[in-house]
Amino acid sequence: MVERSRDWIRQARRDLEAAEHQLAGGFYE
């Protein structure tokens, strides 16, 4: 169960970083 949580957190962090990059790209364009 802990491993599943860790994978979920890793995936959520990856999605968050992708969203931040999209936001930054939108601001700088």
Please write the tens of the pLDDT for every residue from 4-23.
999 999 999 999 999 999 98
Which pLDDT belongs to residue 29? 61
Q: What is the pLDDT of residue 1?
A: 73
State how far the Cα of 2 lies from the Cα of 5, in Å rounded to an integer: 5
Per the listing, tokens 């890793």 go with 10
Q: What is the pLDDT of residue 25?
A: 84
Per the structure block, which two tokens stand in for 25? Answer: 């790209």
- Report how far residue 20's alpha carbon sits from residue 29's, in angstroms, rounded to the nearest whole number: 14
Task: Name the residue range of residue 26's domain.
Answer: 1-29
Q: Is 26 a residue whose pLDDT tops 90?
A: no
Number of structural domains the chain divides into: 1
**What residues contact 11, with CB distance under 8 A and at least 6 apart?**
none
In this prediction the pTM is 0.58
